[in-house]
Amino acid sequence: MVRNVSEQVEVRVAREDEFEQVVRLRWLWTTEREGAEAAGNEADYVPAAATWARAHQDSHIAHVAVLEKQVVGMAWLALAARVPKVGAIGRLSGDLQSCYVLPEHRNHGIGGRLVRAVLATAAERGVEHITVHTSPESVAMYARNGFAHEERLLYAEPARG
């Protein structure tokens, strides 16, 4: 009996030696959504972004979906310190960022597994809440995996001068 693709995929926190594969997915995502011109040169982006990922791995935790030693999906947990409150000096919030699965591996539950892995890591770290900024096409996937609309969460973009 052949297992489905999702069962063959390992979902976990990325290792440092996988950062080039992870950030390449971000480059591919930009190419897919905005075109090759917007993505720029892969050879420039990948090493610079991998260096950034290594320098920020305490605050930006990359999660990967790996199939046959290849990273086919990613999702990041960005951690931010919160203002202390009485009874809780060390507080954290999280933001799920850059959840992406290669097109040929979509619709097999891999994105949901990545989201659940990020939520598990957040729980282990004591994160109070997690936000996500998503495309309209992905709202249902996030809702199936623990996210809900929050009436009190507002969004603004700072004015650019």
Establish if 129 belongs to a structural domain. yes
Tell me the average pLDDT across 51-76: 97
In this prediction, residue 2 carries a pLDDT of 45
Establish if 113 belongs to a structural domain. yes
CATH number at residue 28: 3.40.630.30
Residue-range definition of the domain harbouring residue 36: 5-144
Tokens of 26: 């971000």
User: Taking a C-beta distance cutoff of 8 angstroms, is the pair 101, 114 a contact?
Assistant: yes
pTM of this prediction?
0.92
User: Cα(106)–Cα(49) distance, rounded to whole angstroms?
Assistant: 24
Please check the confidence at residue 76 and state whether its pLDDT lies above 80.
yes
Residue that wins the pLDDT comparison between 93 and 6: 93
When pLDDT is cut at 50, 70 and 90, the band that residue 144 belongs to is very high
